Amino acid sequence: MFATLSDKLDLVFKKLRGQGVMTEDNVKDALREVRLALLEADVNFKVVKDFVEKVRTRAVGTEVLQSLAPGQQVIKIVHDELVLLMGGSEDNSLDLAAKPPVAIMLVGLQGAGKTTSCGKLAKYLKAQRKKPLLVPADVYRPAAIEQLKVLGRQLDIEVFGSEATQKPLDICRDAHRYATLNGFDVVIFDTAGRHQIDDYLMEELEGIRDELAPREILFVADAMTGQEAVNVAQGFNDRLGITGVILTKLDGDAKGGAALSIKAVTGKPVKFVGLGEKLDALDVFHADRLVSRILGMGDVLTLIEKAQATFDEKEAERLQQKMKKSGQFDLEDFRAQLQQIKKMGSLESIMNLIPGMGKAMKQMQGAQPSEKELKRIEAIIDSMTPKERANHTIINGSRRLRIAKGSGTSIQEVNQLLKRFTEAQKVVKQLQKMGPKGLMKGMKGMGKGMLPF
């Protein structure tokens, strides 16, 4: 989503880094380009104006003009002010400090992703060892109730039984009573939406709020709608008093202005961001991490968290012991690692979390691995026998033909994989000797063909 903004800011920062001495004119020129980049990214005009003024005030002060690296100092100021703009280090965690069951309302317009966000939030809370109950209270949208029931079955989370003929307030009241009697920790209410704000909708939501006194009222905003999402959030906040925001579709190709503006305009923190359709694609929002990604600095903490959540410790220990003992990395190991990496998300999203790798991937001019190519590689490896995966050098012509037919690929594709894997084995051995610093340097220097994909 922030690719265009990142590229433009990167050009500005390149010019700044080249300045040995920083003057007010340098700062003025740089901030003009920063302002244009933010406006083109659909950031609220007033927000941009205030942001640029804050950066200018700090950038023409002694902390920059007397600095040994003034360009870097201005970049740091932009980074710090962007973090503050999006919420800084304030606590944006869910407020569950109440007698259970704690009520959470999700509100927003139709199409923003409320129902899916309910399922994602329930999965997140379940992972936190909470017992959530999902409540379908949208009786207007066709199949909304059934959609939440399907999500509940997929997640093995109970969904309160409701019918489209019931009144939303009655559903919510009965569900809360049911949750109290059956030991649920959290009740998540999926409320109705409209294509635009209207009095009837707001009165209904106000009735539910007044009856249940929810600890959290989360506004679900579609980040693809840009500034309109900010305006709608303000409307919901004025009527309901929202406590936070869930930004959905942050993996899309929109400009991202809503993500940068919504906190400044509403005064309410972004608590979660949706990064895809999968039910585990909900991340806790961290302003500093998102800003680091926008400025091309990576996000190592998020990468570590994703790895910890998806990687099999026993498998990692097995591979470590094997490498120490024999120094061999075979196709069986590669397939296992590939399957674990896929759980973390797309390769592009993973690479963007590594400092410097996002830019390096762009510079590889189309050499980036695609998801289709990874599936093809996995299919080829799956078509091999255990002996062939353990020792790919035994794969002769007839075996290659069988593997190609079994995987639905060509002999040339099988040959290409084997050739690249042979090269990759050498790289793995080299990186193993380099240690952590050498590993990062080696990764940045890789070109097409250095890995099996």
- Is 248 annotated to bind ligand? yes
- Is 190 annotated to bind ligand? yes
- Is 165 annotated to bind ligand? no
- Is 259 annotated to bind ligand? no
- Is 112 annotated to bind ligand? yes
Q: Tokens 């091309």 sit at which residue?
A: 296
How many angstroms separate the CA atoms of 232 and 238, rounded?
10
CB 96 within 8 A of CB 186: yes
- Is 109 annotated to bind ligand? yes
Strand partners, 103: 187
- Is 110 annotated to bind ligand? yes
For the chain, how many helices (H) and strands (E)?
21, 7
How many angstroms separate the CA atoms of 185 and 172, rounded?
15
- Is 192 annotated to bind ligand? yes
* 88-98 core/surface letters (b: 16 or more CB in 10 A; e: else): eeeebebeeee
- Is 268 annotated to bind ligand? no
- Is 111 annotated to bind ligand? yes
- Is 193 annotated to bind ligand? yes
SS (H, E, C) 279-311: CCCEEECCHHHHHHHHCCCCCHHHHHHHHHHHC
H or E element that contains 187: strand 186-190
- Residue 225: half-sphere exposure toward Cβ, Cα within 13 Å: 20
- Binding residues for GTP, as ranges, are 108-115, 190-194, 248-251
- Binding residues, as ranges, are 108-115, 190-194, 248-251
